Structure 1
């Protein structure tokens, strides 16, 4: 109780230090609150509120967040006054899928909506799905997960607007005349907003939150120029992602055209769910996925293509890191830890940090630029590429590494690099081979030997290979830079709202961006390795030269 009174005294008056007040909520106070495992409270708190008996509702971190939002340093407005229409999550409905893609619209779950390259093989029937228009979204909307893991966000772009989305997403339509949408997104991503949003979640096995529960969330209204700068940073990050997807589309198109392959592979099963085969072809595997006729058709088309088929093990070293005890620490004491679930996402959610001192043989899990990454446990076959931005990060043992050989294999005229391998494995011709070799009863797994047997279709013309690789490297650099910009922009807004930094002008904010984002070294390292990244799309800054110039880096 003494600690609580001291914290409130700091809140009410502050303590003078070098002519400035202390931060209203220190980093240490926030961290202590986040790790608190028990608390006591008066029974009157329960009866004066919503009669909540779940301890998380009264957690100290949520109390800290409310204290910040009740501060008088800035004005606030309820979220419901900053949107064009009442927030909603769609309606619960029976999913009736179409057997023919032409008669359906692709459907995404909440998790798939947050992915860097969302794709779907499920098509909701246009004729049999009632009120289908209510499940469609438009560019510029903000989406928030409201079931399972609560509060994760994305902004609808042109690609995402083509899908029907689950009802497990709250649709937020910002009113740009009242608040910049990028700034609103940045605020909703802060731990402050997340604490308040999750405070009202309910559910025993699966957490839920309803749109009306976040309507009164207090949104800080800052100086227009400052909100505009945060708005620009978030939109810049999403512009980078759009450019990255465009480059990967170009890389895949160049591969298909050069290889003489179609984008889609015919499914011999069509509407059938079973098939037969000779016992002599079992190869000691009794799982149906290993003998899937789609795989047989994939291999048939590859053998007819204008490429050279080479096993992955002949192009590089395939490694699955050992299992280990994970000791997590605060950011300043550890290194970023990439998990399998992070690989397909726009950015790592809930990024954790491994202890540098307490993790034995840490180098076993460090990843380096020029490595292809493949998820090999749980959801199999998600593809990534290490860039200079993720250089030196640690990666889970659930992420398999492919490290290309520097020397060319005997059957090729040139060595194949990691970016080309990543491009091929992202196509159905690579993915179908990978998932066919999956094993495991409860959790799917795949090992080094299995990946080593996957056939890579190598283009004969080295100049085409190099062009594909360049596009892919640039795309993954854009993806990681977008994640870095978004993460550090949100962190800066948290510092500003907490009171740990203050701005007297927009120029000071730009200076803080330079100090906080630490982008200069990252931009320079990416720029040296990936040349030619200099494009402008939809009026946003998307070149490294422009961002260095704009923020004086």
Structure 2
């Protein structure tokens, strides 16, 4: 009943497709669309629960569960799991965004805010995914949404969505092969980054001692004359020091980012002035997502950064603000997907040196138990913690033998290359589907 839906461009496109006598069908005739029962999860500690991923986390390159749910309190836990290759579509908030479930999602409880789509004919799986990724189809899904504050889609909305038949069978075959490659690339990337982190951790035998960070005492002189006069307790926490003792016991030495010749800087604050013919803007959360929606363009006139706000492939990007349980201190490696776009001024740039390759630098900073806790200890501030560039310049990296560092770096860099290639293929099949829709609408076929 919402008037805005009938005024949306997607509604007009849908009417135009449905006016054709042939060449299209309802989505429910080629795919099964389902939604699990509403999840009423009981949060428990990690050792007793199953890891849970929200609808937004499903699009993260490397999602990390922050909640663990009791299986005994869920009616049908299996219905909330996904299989590799299953198509997932967001049903609330930013509706209609599609992605493929792959190895990072298997074994997790996945939010019921994601609709599950399974092709009836396996040969149509790739075409259905390409079609749902097309911008025009996303607009059609938005035109079917309902709700005043938080928009929603239901299964029957997608059931009735029109899907066209490609003009030639070759399109179906090509989309199928490309989608299989997308899935394989993301699975391989996940394996390689895990292998890189396992190799890094293997160099440092496990410490049997456990640091208690709940309460600790530090001498005032340590804050006054060391660590840039940091008085906040977070930067002196014993967990970080315990990790550093473990690293120090096995590493070949230490070097700070500045000593290694890495450039570390933050762009100037710039205004987000909308401009239709401007440059695409990447915010601090999108650098951690699989093929994010870059739907904002701004004027680059006010950007005074030495690289005009852009990043180069191989640079490390760190989120400098947020919460310690969130993205604060997280890092990602820039790829070809980021080239030519402006990255938020809330993202610190790290340009690696010849002595410290980006893959090894990424693993040393981001490792869940040996790197990230140290990076989070750089943060200051109570309401919205921040990481200061000067603190990051002094961040110490443990050094290993050149051979081991090369192996780790090769694996990590190959992983990000695979993620980037998967995004490129995903965009390519979406463009193919978009072109097919345009061609279908321009054909002079009989109308109903």
Alignment of 1:95 with 2:35, yes or no, is no
Alignment of 1:375 with 2:319, yes or no, is yes
Q: Distance in 1 between matches of 2:145 and 2:230?
A: 45
Q: Distance in 1 between matches of 2:349 and 2:303?
A: 20
| Paired residues for 1:373-522 under 5 Å | 373-378=317-322, 379-388=327-336, 390-406=338-354, 415-428=355-368, 429-459=370-400, 461-499=401-439
RMSD of aligned Cα (Å):
2.9
1:310/1:165 Cα in 2 relative to 1: closer, same or farther (>3 Å)?
same
**SS of equivalent to 1:451:** helix
Unpaired runs of 5+ residues, structure 2, are: 444-448
Higher relative contact order (CA 8 A, sep 6+): 2
- 2:446 is matched with none
Deviation of the 1:128 alpha carbon = 4.1
Q: Distance in 2 between matches of 1:265 and 1:368?
A: 41
How many residues align? The count is 430
Contact in 2 for aligned 1:265/1:294 (Cα 8 Å): no
**SS of equivalent to 1:313:** coil
1:214/1:291 Cα in 2 relative to 1: closer, same or farther (>3 Å)?
farther
Deviation of the 1:71 alpha carbon = 5.0
Q: Distance in 2 between matches of 1:487 and 1:457?
A: 38
- 1:201 is matched with 145
Q: Distance in 2 between matches of 1:170 and 1:116?
A: 20
Unpaired runs of 5+ residues, structure 1, are: 1-49, 407-414, 504-553
- 1:72 is matched with 20
Q: Distance in 2 between matches of 1:471 and 1:432?
A: 22
Larger radius of gyration: 1
**SS of equivalent to 2:418:** helix
1:189/1:440 Cα in 2 relative to 1: closer, same or farther (>3 Å)?
farther
Contact in 1 for aligned 2:282/2:342 (Cα 8 Å): yes
TM-score, with normalisation over the residues of structure 2? 0.86
| Paired residues for 1:41-80 under 5 Å | 50=1, 52=2, 55-70=3-18, 72=20, 75-80=23-28
- 1:115 is matched with 60
List per-residue Cα deviations over 1:84-112 (Å, max 9, x = no partner): 4x511432313332341xx3321111111
**SS of equivalent to 1:318:** strand
Deviation of the 1:195 alpha carbon = 1.6
Q: Distance in 2 between matches of 1:159 and 1:138?
A: 11
Deviation of the 1:348 alpha carbon = 2.2
Q: Distance in 2 between matches of 1:334 and 1:421?
A: 33
Q: Distance in 2 between matches of 1:204 and 1:76?
A: 31
- 2:76 is matched with 131
Deviation of the 1:234 alpha carbon = 2.5
- 1:214 is matched with 158
List per-residue Cα deviations over 1:135-173 (Å, max 9, x = no partner): 112222111112222122221223312111112111222
Deviation of the 1:218 alpha carbon = 0.9
Q: Distance in 1 between matches of 2:441 and 2:95?
A: 29
**SS of equivalent to 1:343:** helix
Runs of 4+ residues over 6 Å off in structure 1:
264-267, 281-284, 500-503
1:168/1:275 Cα in 2 relative to 1: closer, same or farther (>3 Å)?
farther
Deviation of the 1:314 alpha carbon = 2.1
| Paired residues for 1:294-313 under 5 Å | 294-313=239-258
